[in-house]
Chain A
Amino acid sequence: MSSRTTPASPGVLAPSEPPGRRSLRARLRGVLPVLGSLQGYIGLVLVIAAGMLTKGQVFWNQQNLTNAVGAFASRGILAVGETLVILTAGIDLSVGSLLGIASMVSALLLVHQNLNIYEIVPLCMVVGAFFGLANGAATALLRIQSFVVTLAMLNVVRGIDRMLSDNVSVGTQLINAQGQLTPRSAQFQVLGTPGHNVFTGLPLPFVGRAGIYYPVLALVVVVVVFQLLLSKSKFGRHIYAVGGNETAARLSGVNTTYVKIAVFMLAGLLAGFAGPIDAAYSASADPLAGSSYELDAIAAVVIGGASLAGGRGSIVGTLVGSLILTLLDNVLGLNAISDNAQLIIKGLIVILAVVIQRPDFFRALGPAVRRLGRLTRTRTGDPPGEVASGSPQPQSATPPLEESR
């Protein structure tokens, strides 16, 4: 084969440019897959443009944007967990219920046990992780399809949630004799209220800024941590391998059972983490809190460019998907479009997103755009910072795609 002499093909991104020159482009190529698909960003820009055109300053000011993102933060965190599950070609329908029970547990712990948030949040995460573990075990060990397992779990957990609460919502704003919030309650409220110091629970000095907004902070931290996990760690690689080809992963020494259980557990853990945020945001834990959140989370993952067949997607992509949904919510709300119409629009957007995320979408758009598309196509699972410098000079053209049928 090597003795064959074929003219080098022109279209191949040959790693033959001088190293100094290549580095920027190569670095870009390395980072871009992590960022999700270009289409996602186009969508985000479009939504922002729509907001600015229709509402201008009313939309584009920090207060409004922070509020918008804060309202969606708990669902964004759910979407991160959902991404992990979907990457392994599974699906988790129970995350909404898990968020619900975690928010209820957090409120009950606050009201009845008077715990502080450093105790409440970890306990809620344990609760979420427990049910996530059950999901994972049933999926990986009993080999039931995750759709079925988590559909059942959705109901089971919701039932437990409603039993715990006796079908009554539990307020988290506790007033003491002086008519003020109790310290613990004030501290808890910070989890969902802007302008407070996360650590002390005291209002921040207002200097023309909204201060640290805990839900946004939490979402950002979760996104960063889990994106690093996916692109830097061995476990992250294994997740992509299990979703891409489970048999190949197993024969390559990946403990597929462990990976599958772990992703469900992490999804549960994150749902548990998001529960208190949701409770604090709405100042009460409702027995129905989190209903249908799982659908928002899945929508965010799909809009973010992940494939439900597994093996393709990224956390940052999911973040972009979440932002599109949340800002769209906000823009539609500001324009006084009815809730019913909003549902229709959001549904259609999901379909549109899937259509334009097709890998060959750019092919239809002519060569200039196609080049952009090739640069950004989500080939995730490859860690960032990749440079193709180590590869040898290909002697001949890329082999034809004959076998890719």
Chain B
Amino acid sequence: MGREIHETQPDNASGSSAPAAPGPGRVILAMNAITKTFPGVRALSGVDMTVRAGEVAAILGENGAGKSTLMNILAGVFSDYGGVIELDGVPVAIHSPKAAQHLGIAMIHQELNLVPDMSIVDNIFLGREPRTARGTIDRRRMDEQATRLLAEVGLTLHPRRPVRQCRVAEQQLIEVAKALSASLRVLVMDEPTSALADAEVRRLFTVIRRLAAQGVGIVYISHRLEELDEIADSVTVLRDGAYIGRREMAGTTRGELISMMVGRPLDELFPRSDSPTGPGEEVIRVEGLDLAGDRREGRAALHGVRLIARAGEIVGLAGLMGAGRSETLEAIYGVFPRRAVHGNVRLRGRRYQPRSPRHAIRNGIALVAEDRKAQSLVLTNSVRFNASLAALGRFMRRGTVSAARERAAVAGMVTDLRIKTPGLNTAVANLSGGNQQKVVLAKCLLTEPSLILMDEPTRGIDVGAKAEIYQLMTELARRGSAIVMVSSELPELLAMCDRIVVLCEGRVTAEFRRGEGSQEAILDAAMDRQAVLGIDAASPSRAPARREVSDE
């Protein structure tokens, strides 16, 4: 589930400037003045994009800027668009994924499109299986070709292996192998590294460079600026569906790109300074929290986790994927069956037994879950329905939900959190990621919690919305809420948290006060090498020095 901590590398010395690109080739793809309108929304207005042969062309933009829309047009997902697409100088009409495939355009979506229960080879040839003369599927040829394709992307897996048994990084490369064919001209990759660990990112980059060297045009969509330094030759920036500009990567600073993306210089991303007033009384004290792991549900085990959060405090939970960060929050929130959880929890000084989310909400605990679409929102329902769902009890009048009260409360939240929505009755599916996340926050805040558990509160949302959410968290803490946040982005934790608790394989391995930690120290503790600045009682039980990163 969780994403690995990725170290923000301040200009990796070896790959700081453009890689060994074979110079600008001919223009292989030109998209001119592309427009696309969804009902009531103009998603793209006059966007230009060119890709040269052998070039890695990045598209940069906040969530909702139109990157994916643009690429979906290229891949034939949306058939009605305005503007002209030229491939090798010839205008083409791409009105179906099949047409795109035919033209040598392949797209690797962010959510991988492999059939988990089928083998690698079956996935690679899905829909274009080679036939024998008798009309049956030519398995021998498939296996041969698959082995060759896998080798080309640097995989040595057996082609008959089920995709389910492959790691995410391997699946990503299998997607690349699937896209490879003699006619491949343009390969679009939508956030390919979002689920990968560092070493796996390198491997993917090697494959990308090799493809580029063969003359394939690569379109690379990413949020991560530090990656672009390393892999991209040029960057096209979109904002609010409009074309902002194109820059050669060499000689462009990160700050310049950010201000192009955001439309203003990004001075104050993290508003939080050292807490002005000292922390208040203890809101929650967790001691010896044990959780039985469950491999089938992908649930990590916890061993004696200790966690304290005081009023006005933001406590961070750091750790690698599978270290038990989300599980800690969910155990407190009462998500797991009671028999799986043991430990001593005190809420505002009183003994507290996590029972169910419902029980937690009644006791003033709120959870902002990790995956807002899967765990937090009823996407087809309205902003109002979603925001009020957890707090309906507050709007009851004579046994029915009072529409007036509910509307007033939700409208207040929409104003306070600056949720950009056409109306309270708009389906949340039509909002951008940042605004969806704000609806989730509104839902939690309407329950008037004193303890807010946040699992990756800023994942997958744009920089502007991030800043607003940081501001909100600061404000909530100032007003006396205790916040426990899980994040994979270390700069975020270091800037926002009063204390950071580091987990490794379900055990607390270190705890840092504000100003004490550094990215390296946190990573060290997360990987359970000698923790540098462990605070006296912070590491009651040290994990054995074995490390096992699972990718599931």
Q: Which residues of A contact B (CB under 8 A)?
A: 1-4, 6, 9, 11-15, 29, 228, 232-234, 237-238, 240-241, 244-245, 247-255, 311-312, 363, 370, 374, 379, 381-392, 394-405
Contact = CB atoms under 8 A, between A and B. Distances in A.
Interface in B438-471: 443, 447, 462, 464-465, 468
B472 interface: no
A401 B403 contact: no
A232 B402 CA distance: 8
A4 B241 CA distance: 13
- The dominant DSSP class at the A interface is loop
Interface in B309-348: 333, 335
B40 A12 contact: yes
Contacts of B376: 248, 251-252
A399 B432 contact: yes
13 contacts: A1-B465, A12-B41, A237-B392, A241-B378, A252-B376, A382-B384, A388-B424, A399-B435, A400-B44, A400-B65, A402-B68, A403-B432, A404-B430
A251 B368 CA distance: 9
A13 B64 CA distance: 20
Interface stretch (B83-91, B172-180, B408-416, B534-542): B408-416
Interface string B378-406: 11111011001110110010011101000
Given A29-B425, A249-B389, A4 B430 contact: no
Contact of A15 (B42, B111, B423): B423
A235 to B, nearest CB: 10
A304 B84 CA distance: 42
B450 to A, nearest CB: 16
Contacts of A312: 380
Contacts of A402: 43, 63-69, 432
A20 B124 CA distance: 61
A392 B413 CA distance: 10
Nearest to B438: A1
Given A13-B423, A15-B423, A399-B431, A382 B381 contact: yes
In the complex, which range does the number of interface residues on chain B fall in?
35 or more
B422 interface: yes
A323 B111 CA distance: 43
Contact of B421 (A2, A240, A311, A391): A391
A179 B397 CA distance: 56
The 7 closest A-B pairs by CB, nearest first: A390-B411, A399-B432, A244-B378, A11-B40, A1-B464, A400-B43, A388-B423
Q: Is the interface of B mostly helix, strand, loop or mixed?
A: mixed
B266 to A, nearest CB: 12
B400 A232 contact: yes
B263 A390 contact: no
A398 B429 CA distance: 12
Given A1-B434, A4-B464, A245-B379, A390 B385 contact: no
B240 A4 contact: yes
A335 B390 CA distance: 53
A371 to B, nearest CB: 10
Interface centre among A249, A253, A374 (most CB of B within 10 A): A253
A1 B418 contact: yes
Given A400-B69, A403-B432, 10 more contacts: A12-B422, A234-B392, A237-B392, A247-B374, A252-B357, A252-B376, A390-B407, A391-B414, A401-B41, A402-B64
B313 to A, nearest CB: 24
Contacts of A12: 40-41, 422
A392 B378 contact: no
B168 interface: no
A249 B432 CA distance: 21
Contacts of A383: 401, 403
Given A1-B434, A237-B392, A392-B414, A232 B377 contact: no
Contacts of A6: 240
B350 interface: no
Contacts of B104: none
Given A251-B375, A394-B422, A386 B381 contact: no
Contacts of B333: 251
Given A2-B418, A398-B430, A240 B40 contact: no
Given A6-B240, A398-B430, A401-B43, A247 B382 contact: no
B72 interface: yes
B68 A251 contact: no
A14 B423 CA distance: 7
A120 B363 CA distance: 45
B40 A398 contact: yes
